[in-house]
Amino acid sequence: MNQSLKLFYCTSIFLLLFMLPKSGSPAVSAPPLSLEDAIALALEKNPDIQVARNEERIARNNVHVGNAGLLPKIDFVSKGSYAENPGSSLPASVESTTSTAQVQASYTLFNGFGNIYTFRKLKSAGELGTLQARNNIEQIIIDVSKAYYDLANAIEQLAADGDAVEISAERLKRAKLRSEYGQANSQEVLSAMVDANNDSVSWLQAQLQKENAERVLNLLLGRPPDTACSVVTSVTFKPVMTSDSLKASAMQGSAEYLIARKAVQQSRFELLQARSEFFPQIAVQAGYGFSRTADGFDVGLGDTEPGVSASLSLNYNIFNGFQSVIKNQNARIALLNREILEQKASSVLEKKVADTIHAYRNSREILRFQETAIASAELNFRRTRELYILGQVTNTTFREAQLNLVQARKNIASARFDAKKLELQLMRLAGTLLKKQ
């Protein structure tokens, strides 16, 4: 073997053994972040969750009797008016000035119960705002959980590729030594080198995916993207309800479906509001203050005593160009549309429950198969490795056993985290995602 080839082999071994970090070593010294801690941090720091909560506060603030016109209106009114009335038989025009300054209170006694329906609609809108905020927060929690387990999966993938790098480095070193003692040809060494380089590339790609997954999770947690982050890679599964019980729970607790139901209630109140325009309106007004009328142009309130004024008015619209009729018809159509959308939401929810629970059960079956496969792959690799050291199997057979083991480790990690993500989706459909945190 020439000196340049020996130098190339030695350099490659040095890079594989010393330049690449060990796959099993932790990325950070801080303790791993649990999923519960990640969700708690997101609930506190995530900007989208903060916006959702502020929107809920706006919806709740609107629920007030004053916003529905159920409280009196009090104004301070001050005005002055000048009038000139020319007379045909008088030498001069008749001029007068009216000055007023008083506090006025007005209140609608009856308007077809429109103000009452408005208040009920505001209450329903406040509840709708809470449901919408909850739905948005749940979606962000699902995104956080997905990013969390994507990072956990990336860590496991990196560990598997790191093990492959170490195995290939050991194989390359062994092939070099055997070549130096004349027990292996250059083809065996070159083959080991190619495999070692391929494993190094896979490790670098896995490292990049892990770093990208860290940035995604940090962004959802409201932290700087380059914050060092480590997560728990072990998972435990919770008991899942039966299909019927899960469906019943979803109909009562799914925020997305409850939003559709609440929208129907909103439309009913809008229809009642439209009907109230067919009733007369009765209002009362009272005032206390000063009022003065003087001849000529004389603005002022001098030489006047405060007084009380009151009035009762009845207003009944006879014709307004069919505006009230059209508004009532459109409210009926809007209610019909909301009822149709509620039925659709019910069917969509039922399908989501069925799809998700079947996908979850299938993922658990896949996980069980992968657990069996990893045990077989580990046993096969140990035996093949022993035979390879003894020179009883070829490089191709050893490499195949190695790749099978690496792929089995990757598959079981992906299956484990996929099943956990589907479990969280079931919790959201059942309306228990936030309750469990």
- Taken in order 376, 377, 380, 382, the sign of the CA dihedral is negative
Statement: residue 237 has pLDDT above 90: yes
Q: What is the CATH number of the domain that holds 333?
A: 1.20.1600.10
Residues 218, 239: one domain?
yes
Q: Which of the residue ranges 99-103, 129-133, 221-225 would you say has the lowest mean pLDDT?
A: 99-103
Highest-scoring range by mean pLDDT, 29-43, 304-318, 344-358: 344-358
Residues 131, 167: one domain?
yes
Residue in this structure with the two tokens 């040809």, named with its chain if needed: 185
Exposed e or buried b per residue across 126-158, where buried means at least 16 C-beta atoms within 10 angstroms of its C-beta:
bbbbbbbbbbbbbbbbbbbbbbbbbbbbbbbbb
For 270-324, what is each residue's pLDDT tens digit?
999 999 999 999 999 999 988 777 766 666 666 677 889 899 999 999 999 999 9
| pLDDT at residue 180, as a whole number | 77
**Is residue 36 classed as helix, strand or coil in its secondary structure?**
helix
Residues 356, 276: one domain?
yes
> Model's pTM, two decimal places?
0.86
DSSP 237: P
| Residue 103 belongs to domain spanning | 73-110+284-315
| pLDDT at residue 30, as a whole number | 67
| pLDDT at residue 93, as a whole number | 55
Helix (H) or strand (E) holding 288: strand 281-295
Q: Which of 269, 293, 315 is the last residue of a domain?
A: 315
For 241-268, what is each residue's pLDDT tens digit?
888 999 999 999 999 999 999 999 999 9
Residues 339, 262: one domain?
yes
Residues 106, 116: one domain?
no
| pLDDT at residue 183, as a whole number | 66
| pLDDT at residue 168, as a whole number | 94
Residues 261, 306: one domain?
no
- What is the total count of domains within the chain? 2
Whole-angstrom distance, CA of residue 79 vs CA of residue 62: 33
Residues 91, 238: one domain?
no
Residues 360, 389: one domain?
yes
Q: What is the CATH number of the domain that holds 99?
A: 2.20.200.10
Q: Which of 264, 299, 315 is the last residue of a domain?
A: 315
Report the share of the chain in percent with pLDDT over 70. 88
β-pairing verdict for 73-85 and 307-315: unpaired
Residues 185, 206: one domain?
yes
Over range 212-219, report the average pLDDT: 97
Residues 275, 355: one domain?
yes
Residue in this structure with the two tokens 């932790």, named with its chain if needed: 26
* Residue 313 and residue 124 in contact, taking contact as beta carbons nearer than 8 Å: no
* Residue 198 and residue 192 in contact, taking contact as beta carbons nearer than 8 Å: no
Residues 6+ apart with CB under 8 A from 303: 292
- Residue 79 tokens read as 């005005």
Residues 339, 390: one domain?
yes
Residues 238, 157: one domain?
yes
213 in a domain, yes or no? yes
328 in a domain, yes or no? yes
* Residue 102 and residue 288 in contact, taking contact as beta carbons nearer than 8 Å: yes
> Per-residue confidence at 188, pLDDT binned at 50, 70, 90?
confident
> Per-residue confidence at 70, pLDDT binned at 50, 70, 90?
very high
Statement: residue 111 has pLDDT above 70: yes
Whole-angstrom distance, CA of residue 330 vs CA of residue 317: 20
